[in-house]
Amino acid sequence: MSARRPALSVDVVSLTPHGRRLTVLLVRVGDSRSKERWELPNDAPRSDETIDEAAARVVRPTLGAQPAMLEQVAAFGDRRRHPSDAAVSIGYVALVASGASASLGGDAAWFPVDELPPIAPRQRAIVDGAMHAVRARLDQSPIAFRLLPSTFTLSQLQEIYELLLGRRLHKASFRRALHASWLVEPTDEWRSEGRGRPAQLFRYAPRKRRGSRRGVRFEGVSGT
């Protein structure tokens, strides 16, 4: 994309749920005759741009709209290979609401995060770092809602938490903690999905907390 040996690149890991899996957005890069090559959307920041602005610009063409969240992960300045050969790459995570990924740019596609095609080693590290950062922030701030449409069932919400944490949660405990956190409110609608009893729809509506807690906080482990 940019000229030879830039000092910097900005790389964005876009995440969205697809079914029961978390997926990452990759773009196919040139080389029409050689075998397929994929990479994270990335570019060198321009001279008049902050790195946050560069990251926003990098996701714009591939994603239709702006993501629900875009945050820096870290700088990666080791000797691992990067497509642009940049000395240092700055990783970002973008969270995209489920279903909002309808209009993908031409050569972009979503891949399950645990089944990525071969990518440059440094970009592989950026993806891992992005997952770490998201998990770390999950109990500090309510970022799980960024991956959901505006109304959702509690089972959907729990599924997102399980996707991000990589482990099952206890249903009753999850709902108790959620209730105590005052982050959601019920709507009048119910949704029937397949078998079983229909689920009530909720929306994200954080209330002022009187004293203490910041996020949702689960120690909760195994699930039935």
Partner DNA sequence: TCAATAGTGTCTGTTAGACATTATGGA
Partner DNA sequence: TCCATAATGTCTAACAGACACTATTGA
Determine if 102 is a binding residue for a second copy (CB under 8 A).
no
C-alpha to C-alpha distances, 2 to 8, 21, 35, 139, 202, nearest whole angstrom? 11, 33, 22, 38, 45
Residue 152, judged by CB atoms within 10 A of its CB (0-12, 13-18, 19+), counts as buried
Residue number with CB closer to DNA (5 or 197):
197
Determine if 52 is a binding residue for a second copy (CB under 8 A).
yes
| CB of residue 146 to DNA, shortest distance in Å | 21
Q: How far apart, in whole angstroms, are the C-alpha atoms of residue 171 and residue 78?
A: 42
Residue number with CB closer to DNA (79 or 197):
197
Determine if 220 is a binding residue for DNA (CB under 7 A).
yes
| CB of residue 217 to DNA, shortest distance in Å | 6
Query: Strand, coil or helix: what is 99?
Result: coil
Determine if 79 is a binding residue for a second copy (CB under 8 A).
yes
Residue number with CB closer to a second copy (87 or 172):
87
What is the pattern of x (binds DNA, CB under 7 A) and - over residues 111-150? ----------------------------------------
Query: Strand, coil or helix: what is 89?
Result: strand
Residues between 190 and 219 that touch DNA (CB under 7 A): 190, 192-200, 217-219
- Token pair 């195994």 in the structure block, residue: 222
Q: How far apart, in whole angstroms, are the C-alpha atoms of residue 44 and residue 9?
A: 4
